[in-house]
């Protein structure tokens, strides 16, 4: 392996080419070289096309544990790192590697705050066909995800939680790299995902972290083995950096819950906070909370921890906390309530019906994610403006029975033409069989 020497910031163009070439040819980058790349790209001294070439070289050549650590720390240190005052309440968070319909963070954050944790959740936007917490939150009228570090600390101390995005002052390197990876096919890389996630989580000054590492058709890791490898890398590095971390390995062949698309997922999250909503979403929310209760010694066993989390969720407190969060982050609570009780908020709603009777054998999260992106719920370029109200709900899930003519899902679209295109494509997402298939668990392993 070639070792690439660090270079001075004065001769950016020629030396950065050397770094790209070194990584392209399988060389290892020194910590200084990685720090320099992150610093200069964040400062706008390295153009997008060169950074994209470096990302693609990393995608193909990978990174050693040392390089991944250097990239993560350089990205963390591209902005401020939160420092919370001493307090009884542990500082915790959860992060997912990304999926379709994966709205767990929305009900989980207020639940954790009500369980006595402090939650400074820094999230990202949609990436590839997977949804992003920031895009979901921004479908709430007036809600801002741009909080500066002092406001995050203040809000977490007083309310127990804040949900924000990377900014010019917090992990700005991830803000820029994330957007570039999204449109250059460089997302599914273990070192890049690890650095992206852990730079944000380490900047939060956490005591404990629960990771949801997804595998399957709509996940960045297609197989359980790849997800396990990613989980091991994340857990090892996070623990090495002093954060008590566990990872759940979860299934992303089928969307989580019955709704996917930014606003539709907010609405389903409220169902979960109000004791309704899909069982798989509730199970994952409760399990993430239970792991954190157990990890931080607040429950002696996972069984007790799950009961504690379920009891708190059903108490209605997290639902009230959610409203307080909306108000704290500039949201218009009345407009939010009106939107919540209104029917479909996109211009068009159209049902897709089963063409035969039988059991749902497949509800393909990848196709559904692509359809939502094409409806305008995700991005094809950095400039794409998200349409918050489009998406799919009322999804029929594997194992369920439908008669011919019953609804398989409902499409929310901006135009009749896009609803029609979605409907044609969605027919491929479902398979119906005569016999029910065996039920698949959501959580496969804990690392």
The terminus-to-terminus CA distance of the chain in angstroms comes to 31
- Give the separation between CA 289 and CA 210, rounded to whole angstroms: 8
Q: Count residues contacting ligand URA (CB under 6 A)? A: 8
Q: Tokens 């409806």 map to which residue?
A: 375
Closer residue to ligand URA in complex, CB, 110/124? 124
Name which of 112 and 197 has its Cβ closer to ligand URA.
Answer: 197
287 is catalytic: no
Question: Is residue 412 left, alpha or beta, with left meaning phi > 0 and alpha meaning psi from -120 to 50?
Answer: beta
Catalytic residue (one of 69, 76, 118, 200): 200
Smallest gap from Cβ 93 to ligand URA, in A, equals 12
- Is residue 124 part of the contact set for ligand URA (CB under 6 A)? yes
Measure CA 442 to chain center. 17
Question: Measured between alpha carbons, how far is residue 142 from residues 139, 149, 412 in Å?
Answer: 8, 20, 22
CB of 193 or CB of 217, closer to ligand URA: 193
Active site annotation includes 8: no
Element (H, E) at 269: helix 262-273
Shortest distance, position 126 Cβ to ligand URA, whole Å: 10
120, β-bridge pairs? 162
Question: Which residues have a Cβ under 8 Å from the Cβ of 424 and sit 6 or more positions away?
Answer: none
Site for ligand URA in 79-98 (CB under 6 A): 97-98
Q: Does residue 262 interact with ligand URA by CB under 6 A?
A: no
Quick check: 127 binds ligand URA (CB under 6 A)?
yes
Residue 30 vs residues 37, 45, 46, 394: alpha-carbon distances, Å:
11, 19, 18, 50
Q: Shortest Cβ distance from residue 193 to ligand URA (Å)?
A: 4
4 or 284: CB nearest ligand URA: 284
Options 61, 69, 89, 95, the catalytic residue: 95
**Which position among 139, 167, 196, 269 is part of the footprint of ligand URA (CB under 6 A)?**
196
* 61-99: burial string, b at 16+ Cβ within 10 Å, e else: bebeeebbbbbbbbbbbbbbebebeeeebbbbbbbbbbb
Give the shortest CB-371-to-ligand URA separation in angstroms: 21
CB 209 within 8 A of CB 201: yes
Examine residue 197 and tell whether it contacts ligand URA (CB under 6 A): yes
User: Shortest Cβ distance from residue 64 to ligand URA (Å)?
Assistant: 19
Task: Tell me the β-bridge partners of 431.
Answer: 362
Q: Supply the minimum distance, in Å, between the C-beta of residue 199 and ligand URA.
A: 9
Q: How far apart are CA 387 and CA 145, in angstroms?
A: 17
CB closer to ligand URA out of 98 and 120: 98
Give whichever of 134 and 352 is closer to ligand URA, judged by the CB atom.
Answer: 134
Does 122 help bind ligand URA (rule: CB under 6 A)? no
What's the sign of the alpha-carbon dihedral 135, 137, 142, 145? negative
Smaller CB separation from ligand URA, 40 or 102: 102
Give the footprint of ligand URA on residues 136-195 (CB under 6 A).
187, 193
Q: Is residue 238 within the footprint of ligand URA (CB under 6 A)?
A: no
In degrees and rounded to multiples of 5, residue 435 shows phi and psi of -110, 150
Is 212 or 271 the residue whose CB approaches ligand URA more closely?
Answer: 212
- Which residues are CB-neighbours of 329 under 8 A, at least 6 positions away? 137, 143, 144, 145, 147, 155, 162, 163
Cα(71)–Cα(78) distance, rounded to whole angstroms? 11
- The radius of gyration of the chain from alpha carbons, rounded to an integer in Å, stands at 22
Question: Beta strand 92-96 with 208-215: parallel, antiparallel or unpaired?
Answer: parallel
**For this structure, is 174 an active site residue?**
yes
Instruction: Please tell me which residue in 181, 228, 373, 379 is annotated as part of the active site.
Output: 181
Minimum gap (Å) between residue 389 Cβ and ligand URA: 24
Interatomic CA distance for residues 79 and 174, integer angstroms:
10
Q: Which residue is nearest to ligand URA (CB)?
A: 196
Shortest distance, position 174 Cβ to ligand URA, whole Å: 7
Q: Does 202 bind ligand URA (CB under 6 A)?
A: no
Question: Which tokens hold the place of 268?
Answer: 């389903």
Q: Which residues bind ligand URA (CB under 6 A)?
A: 97-98, 124, 127, 187, 193, 196-197
Active site residues: 95, 174, 181, 196, 200
């Amino acid at each position: 392996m070639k070792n690439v020497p660090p270079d001075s910031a004065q001769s950016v163009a020629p030396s950065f080419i050397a770094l790209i070439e070194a990584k392209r040819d399988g060389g290892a980058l020194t910590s200084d070289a990685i720090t320099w790349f992150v610093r200069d790209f964040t400062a706008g001294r390295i153009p997008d096309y060169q950074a994209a070439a470096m990302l693609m070289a990393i995608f193909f050549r990978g990174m050693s544990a040392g390089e991944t650590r250097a990239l993560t720390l350089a990205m963390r240190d591209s902005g401020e790192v939160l420092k919370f005052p001493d307090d009884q309440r542990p500082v915790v968070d959860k992060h997912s590697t990304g999926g379709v319909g994966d709205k767990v963070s929305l009900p989980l954050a207020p639940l954790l705050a009500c369980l006595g944790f402090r939650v400074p959740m820094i999230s990202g936007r949609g990436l590839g066909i997977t949804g992003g917490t920031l895009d979901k939150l921004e479908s709430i009228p007036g809600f801002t995800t741009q909080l500066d570090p002092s406001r995050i600390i203040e809000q977490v101390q007083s309310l127990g939680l804040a949900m924000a995005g990377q900014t010019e002052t917090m992990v700005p390197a991830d803000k820029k790299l994330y957007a570039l990876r999204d449109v250059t096919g460089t997302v599914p890389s273990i070192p890049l995902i690890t650095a992206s996630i852990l730079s944000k989580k380490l900047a939060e000054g956490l005591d404990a972290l629960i990771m949801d590492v997804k595998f399957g058709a709509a996940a960045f890791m297609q197989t359980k083995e790849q997800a396990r490898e990613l989980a091991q890398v994340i857990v090892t590095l996070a623990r090495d950096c002093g954060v008590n971390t566990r990872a759940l390995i979860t299934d992303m062949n089928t969307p989580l819950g019955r709704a996917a698309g930014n606003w539709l997922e907010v609405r389903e999250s409220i169902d979960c906070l109000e004791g309704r909503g899909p069982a798989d979403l509730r199970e994952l929310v409760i399990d993430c909370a239970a792991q954190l209760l157990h990890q931080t010694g607040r429950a002696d066993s996972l069984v007790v921890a799950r009961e504690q989390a379920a009891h708190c969720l059903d108490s209605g407190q997290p639902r009230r906390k959610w409203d307080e969060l909306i108000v704290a982050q500039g949201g218009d609570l009345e407009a939010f309530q009106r939107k919540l009780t209104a029917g479909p908020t996109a211009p068009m709603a159209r049902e897709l019906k089963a063409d035969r009777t039988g059991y749902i054998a497949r509800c393909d999260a990848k196709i559904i994610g692509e359809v939502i992106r094409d409806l305008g719920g995700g991005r094809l370029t950095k400039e794409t403006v998200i349409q918050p109200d489009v998406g799919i709900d009322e999804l029929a899930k594997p194992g369920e029975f439908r008669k011919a003519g019953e609804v398989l899902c409902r499409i929310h679209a901006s135009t009749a033409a896009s609803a029609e295109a979605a409907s044609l494509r969605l027919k491929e997402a479902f398979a119906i069989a005569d016999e029910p298939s065996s039920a698949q668990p959501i959580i496969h392993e804990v690392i």
